[in-house]
Amino acid sequence: MDVYHFSEQPYHAAWEQAGEVDSLRVTFPNEHCDPRVAADLVNERLDEWVLCDELGLNIMINEHHSSATCLSNSAMVPIAMLARQTKRARLLALGHPIANRPDPVRLAEEVAYIDVVSRGRVELGFVKGAPYEISPANANPVKISARFWDAHDLILKALTTHDGPFNWESEFYDYRQVNIWPRPYQQPRPEVWVTGGSFGTATDVAERGHRFATILGGWNAQKLFDAYRARRLAHGHDFPAPDRFAYCALVGVGRTEAEGHRRAEQVAGYFRTTSIVGEAFVNPPGYMPPQGNAQWLKKNQTRGRAGSHFPVTTRDGRLLRIGSGHGSGDGVGPADLVDAGIAFTGTPDQVYDQIVELDEHVGGIGNLLIMAHGGDMSHADAVDNLTLFATEVLPRLRERDQSRAVTAAMERVAAAHV
Amino acid sequence: MAEQPAAFEQVEIAGVKIELARAGDGPTLLFLHSVDGVDPGSQWFRLLAQRFHVIAPWHPGFGHSELPGDRFRDVGDLALFYLELVHELEIRDAVLMGASFGGWLAAEVAVRSAAAFTHLVLADALGIKVGDRESRDVADVFAISQEELTARAYHDPGRRTRDYSTMSDRDLLGIARSREAYAYFGWKPYMHDPTLRPWLRRVRIPSLVLWGESDGIVTPDYGRAYAAAIPGARFELVEQAGHYPHVEQPERVVELVTAFAHPDSALAGVGSTSEER
């Protein structure tokens, strides 16, 4: 099992205003961003990723736009800096919102350049992007999926074509001389990762054989991974190895259970702020299929439901509504997050056992994506959280034999398709 | 919205299956609808059909009309579709009328060919760029709350209370499809065609531009600029109406349209608020 550390690089200093505004995204004025505070925050995060390189952890970066929840507004920028500051770590952007970016060939060029700089450490992640990313990009929400796969096809062709320019005239993009320099260091190209939370995405990704990642999806990941596995088998491929799967959860490790829980609570600031977004931006027309929107209308939901809660389900089917708002008393604690499979927290032994339980359930996670910083966690806590994880948990995960989990998944998938 | 699906005919135009409503006698009036679609049960539609032979299609992609991806990328494609519809349904000597998004469409049709039409009527039409680059002419309906949208769209927002939970699945799907198509055609450039305004010079048939005085989606001044761009067009303000004057003041709007396009109709009369040019 490989492990990547991820932080959204939040600007938590502005979250106090969360109770006064209806949106921390899109419309929240940047007068609430003190650039000196931002400088401290992003440099601390970048230092933590440099530390990851020393600790044997890999690096995962994302991007959001016009948001106090995430200062990273181009995943490639921090990845580019870290390519020079690190020696071993894999550099995963998860990911690039390719359906929202106007120029896929430009992304292929950036990927190739950084892959060359890092001598082949780039991991290429694509995301459809959250609905509230539509407005900052002013991308048309209609046909976003078709545009995503068209951009995907174009980027992969640009990375793997070496015999001179090719032509691309599709519904969404027009180029006549695509011929990127340099070409990527890794041949034929960096590994592609795609995030998803639906069967449709899982099987779309399976058909292309890419890595499939669920972000804070909890126990439901088993069904999604099984759908991926079944589709691979149906297309005549081998049973997918754990390296095809990635799973993202919060991590809070401590020398005591209480210290670990305190850290998980801090990282969980993510949940308490991520849903605070103006109702018009929650579900732009066309982002969901019309059948889904018709069902929303039936409940008299003409727009989104702004900022009420982040819903998660525990293993035994309990629906948790993690309330929005800084420090809101929603009654959801670290133990509940563990029950929901979206946090691993406590002492190193507890954290290891929780990861193993989930790993067994979903059938072998090749790539664990840990959010070991989030919310208002301090740099010192983040350093200690990462160091404890890397020294006490990571070695055991690396040595862990996943064959039993994989065999169980094989039997489960076979039984479902007899 | 469609409360009586039976009121719609299924027709195939240029290989595209769409629904349309047809009613009434008199001169033909082709009505191009807003995002809210066609409602043959509305007072507006019934009053209009007392004066005209009304043909009101659901645009491709709206309601239950098809939207084949190979031929519809922008509003100009919809305009060509409507010229095909005019050809296939043998519409001639007709009034072309559009409201809101449908007004934009009607203008796009008219600048391409007004040969089948005697008159053009636009009601609170979208579609042109008037302000400078930092001024958005059309309120960003995708960036405001439902409450603000209703307040901007209606003179009397209380009229607009819809209980979706009582609607049929078919009607709800039609509404969801309409909203999606509205975004598809209007997202970028936002609700306008950057070169439409200078080409409005090509509209050489008598034109009437109606505007709800309380319209908070596109202001009456935008409507005046629209009328100024069409040679000889007349501008009429409709009192106590917002973005949908035909919905809020159906009698007044039918009266204005009839007086303008069908003046020999017995009951026609005209108000005194005309700002004739």
Residue of B nearest to A288 (CA): B180
DSSP string, B113-163: --TTEEEEEEES--B---S-TT--SS--TTSS-HHHHHHHH-SSGGG----
Name the DSSP class of A340. T
Residues in A touching B175 (Cβ below 8 Å): 294, 297
Note whether B183 contacts A285, CB cutoff 8 Å.
Answer: yes
**Using one digit for the tens of pLDDT, what is the confidence trace for B82-141?**
999 999 999 999 999 999 999 999 999 999 999 999 999 999 999 999 999 999 999 999
Measured between alpha carbons, how far is residue A404 from residues A225, A226, A400, B201 in Å? 16, 15, 11, 75
Q: Which residues of B1-35 are buried (b: 16+ CB within 10 A; e: fewer)?
A: bbeeeebbeebebbebebbbbbbbebbbbbbbbbb
The secondary element (H helix, E strand) that includes residue A415 is: helix A403-416
Task: Look at A221 and B267; give whichever has higher pLDDT.
Answer: A221
Rounded to whole angstroms, the Cα distance separating B245 from B222 reads: 15
The two tokens of residue A183 are: 């070409």
Q: Please report which confidence band the pLDDT of residue B64 belongs to, taking 50, 70 and 90 as the band edges.
A: very high
Residue of A nearest to B169 (CA): A294
Q: Which residue has the tokens 């990313």?
A: A133
For the ranges A275-289, A304-318, B260-274, the lowest mean pLDDT is seen at: B260-274
Domain edges within chain B: 5-275
For the ranges A37-46, A276-285, A390-399, the lowest mean pLDDT is seen at: A276-285
Note whether B142 contacts A279, CB cutoff 8 Å.
Answer: no
Rounded to whole angstroms, the Cα distance separating A156 from A154 reads: 6
Q: Please report which confidence band the pLDDT of residue A133 belongs to, taking 50, 70 and 90 as the band edges.
A: very high
The secondary element (H helix, E strand) that includes residue B210 is: strand B207-212
Q: Which residues of A213-244 are buried (b: 16+ CB within 10 A; e: fewer)?
A: bbbbbbbebbebbbbbbbbbbeeeeebbebeb
Name the DSSP class of A237. P
The pLDDT score that the predictor gives to residue B85 is: 98
Note whether B169 contacts A298, CB cutoff 8 Å.
Answer: yes
The pLDDT score that the predictor gives to residue B103 is: 98
- Residues A111/A116/A120/A122 CA torsion (nearest 10 deg): -20
Residue A119, Ramachandran bin (φ over 0: left; ψ between -120 and 50: alpha; else beta): left
Beta-bridged to residue A368, according to DSSP, are A3, A247
Residue of A nearest to B145 (CA): A280
The pLDDT score that the predictor gives to residue A308 is: 58
Among chain B, residues having any CB pair with chain A shorter than 8 Å are 69, 73, 142-146, 163-165, 167, 169, 172-173, 175-177, 179-184, 187-188
Which residue in A73, A56, A397 sits closest to A242, CA to CA?
A397
Residue of A nearest to B161 (CA): A300
Rounded to whole angstroms, the Cα distance separating B22 from A238 reads: 59
**Cβ(A256)–Cβ(A347) below 8 Å:** yes
Best of B147, B187, B188 to mutate (most A CBs within 10 Å, chain A): B187
Rounded to whole angstroms, the Cα distance separating A115 from A180 reads: 13
* B3, pLDDT greater than 90: no
A2-416 belongs to which CATH class? Answer: alpha beta
Residues in B touching A304 (Cβ below 8 Å): none
Mean pLDDT to the nearest integer, A70-83: 97
Residue of A nearest to B173 (CA): A294
The pLDDT score that the predictor gives to residue A186 is: 98
* B263, pLDDT greater than 70: yes
Q: Please report which confidence band the pLDDT of residue A304 belongs to, taking 50, 70 and 90 as the band edges.
A: low
**Using one digit for the tens of pLDDT, what is the confidence trace for A355-381?**
999 999 999 999 999 999 999 999 999
The pLDDT score that the predictor gives to residue B163 is: 87
Mean pLDDT to the nearest integer, A97-101: 96
Helix (H, G, I), strand (E, B), or coil: what is residue A122?
strand
Q: Please report which confidence band the pLDDT of residue A119 belongs to, taking 50, 70 and 90 as the band edges.
A: very high
* B276, pLDDT greater than 70: no
Of B165, B177, B187, the CB nearest to A140: B187
The neighbour count for residue B47, using CB atoms within 10 Å, is: 19
What is the CA angle A233-A238-A239, rounded to 5?
70
Domain edges within chain A: 2-416
The pLDDT score that the predictor gives to residue A306 is: 54
Best of B177, B185, B188, B191 to mutate (most A CBs within 10 Å, chain A): B177
Residue of A nearest to B165 (CA): A298
The pLDDT score that the predictor gives to residue A379 is: 98
Name the DSSP class of A390. I
Q: Please report which confidence band the pLDDT of residue B2 belongs to, taking 50, 70 and 90 as the band edges.
A: very low
In a 13 Å sphere around the CA of B15, the CA atoms on its Cβ side amount to: 6
Best of A23, A297, A299 to mutate (most B CBs within 10 Å, chain B): A297
**Using one digit for the tens of pLDDT, what is the confidence trace for A329-347?**
577 889 999 999 999 999 9
The pLDDT score that the predictor gives to residue A325 is: 56
Beta-bridged to residue B121, according to DSSP, are B97, B208
Rounded to whole angstroms, the Cα distance separating A80 from A74 reads: 10
The pLDDT score that the predictor gives to residue B272 is: 39
Beta-bridged to residue A246, according to DSSP, are A213, A367
Q: How does strand B94-99 pair with strand B28-32?
A: parallel
Of A280, A284, A294, the CB nearest to B145: A280
Chain centre to alpha carbon of residue B263: 22
**Cβ(B30)–Cβ(B23) below 8 Å:** no
Measured between alpha carbons, how far is residue B128 from residues A280, B60, B95, B190, B230 in Å? 24, 21, 21, 10, 12
Q: Please report which confidence band the pLDDT of residue B277 belongs to, taking 50, 70 and 90 as the band edges.
A: very low
- Correct CATH for B5-275 of 3.40.50.970, 3.40.1180.10, 3.40.50.1820, 3.10.560.10: 3.40.50.1820
The pLDDT score that the predictor gives to residue A312 is: 82
Does the model's ipTM exceed the 0.90 cut?
A: yes
Rg (CA), chain B: 17
Note whether A140 contacts B179, CB cutoff 8 Å.
Answer: no
Query: How many residues does this entry show for chain B?
Result: 277
Q: Please report which confidence band the pLDDT of residue B271 belongs to, taking 50, 70 and 90 as the band edges.
A: very low
Q: Which residue has the tokens 């009601």?
A: B123
Q: Which residues of A288-327 are buried (b: 16+ CB within 10 A; e: fewer)?
A: bebeebbebbeeebbbbebbebbebbbeeeeebebbbbbe
Distance from CA of B199 to the nearest CA of A (A): 26
Long-range contact set of residues B63-67: C-beta below 8 Å, sequence gap at least 24: B63/B2, B63/B19, B63/B37, B63/B38, B63/B174, B63/B177, B63/B178, B64/B19, B64/B170, B64/B173, B64/B174, B64/B177, B65/B16, B65/B17, B65/B18, B65/B19, B66/B16, B66/B17, B66/B18, B67/B181, B67/B184
Rounded to whole angstroms, the Cα distance separating A352 from A139 reads: 42
Question: Which amino acid is residue A286, in one-letter code?
Answer: G
Please enumerate in sequence order all residues whose Cβ is within 8 A of that of B157, keeping only pairs 6 or more positions apart, or say none. Answer: B150, B151
Q: Please report which confidence band the pLDDT of residue A310 belongs to, taking 50, 70 and 90 as the band edges.
A: confident
Does the bond joining B5 to the residue before it have cis omega, within 30 degrees of 0?
Answer: no
Q: Which residue has the tokens 């050809």?
A: B87
The pLDDT score that the predictor gives to residue A21 is: 78
Rounded to whole angstroms, the Cα distance separating A105 from A151 reads: 9
